[in-house]
Amino acid sequence: MPTARRPARGPTVRRNRDADWNAWPVDAYLAENYRRMHPCDIGVIHHHSAFYRTSAPGSVARSLELGAGPNLYPLMLAAGTARRIDALEPGSAGRDYLRRQLEHGPEDSWQPFYALCRALDPTLPATLPEALARVRVVAGGAGDLPDGAYDTASMNFVAESVTEDFGEFTSLCEAFVHAVRPGGRLVASFMERMPSYRIGGGPVWPACPVDETALRAVFAPRTTGLRISRLAKDRTLPEYGDTGVLLLTAERPAP
């Protein structure tokens, strides 16, 4: 008697929920990316600082950092304009690190980053702890965001670095856009064309390779004033398989 043939299985696409974000390797990630300032950090800081400098100091009531992880420099930059910054992070390891930086003072390795942020924006508070006093660490991810709760939102190396599913990448970006009120402003950075990756020889984390065309396809129908630029590949970083960094600013359209 013939037996039914099982359908051939295609390659498994790993979605956001398939990775354990509580186990994000904070120490190895910091060692590879943020213990010293890399050329791409300098490029991101210049880009984001110019974005924030177009708003008056203290003029923004609430700012969001989506998927904050253990990276302090986006929070430093937002402190130029925001009275309160919510660092939203689903992973407990990332949240624990952030809370330690806020409660016990930032590690010395962050000082050069703050010196650059403050050189570009002298209206930033005199010290890094003062800047970080505006930050509140919040548990959650893109799916937990209320519509329109923020005036500005920032997202760095998140939507493309947490899923292999391009549809889910689009949904994460859409949640990012909808996090700000109509007319609210967005700033973001993305690894360009980065496939799924390892940190410190650990497990593979899911990623979705995106280029400028993909970003335009996702953001152009959902935003106004879209601007995208790019930084050359940073060869001082470990080989993540990327081709550079894409930088984005836009606004959520007014109704």
Q: Which of residues 196-235 bind ligand SAM (CB under 6 A)?
A: none
Write the binding mask 132 to 171 for ligand SAM: x where contact by CB under 6 A, - elsewhere. ---------xx-------------xxx--xx---------
Assess 16 for contact with ligand SAM (CB under 6 A): yes
Name the residue among 225, 68, 236, 55 with its Cα closest to residue 140: 68
Contact 211, 245 (CB under 8 A): no
Nearer to ligand SAM, 224 or 229 (CB): 229
Nearer to ligand SAM, 57 or 148 (CB): 148
Q: Which of residues 36-75 bind ligand SAM (CB under 6 A)?
A: 66-69, 71
Q: Would strands 60-66 and 82-89 be described as parallel, antiparallel, or unpaired?
A: parallel
Assess 246 for contact with ligand SAM (CB under 6 A): no
Q: Which amino acid is at 78?
A: A
Q: Which residues touch 252 (CB under 8 Å, ≥6 apart)? A: 148, 177, 178, 180, 181, 182, 183, 184, 186, 222, 223, 224
End-to-end CA distance of the chain: 64
Q: Which of residues 71-110 bind ligand SAM (CB under 6 A)?
A: 71, 89-91, 94
Binding site for ligand SAM (CB under 6 A): 16, 21, 24, 66-69, 71, 89-91, 94, 141-142, 156-158, 161-162
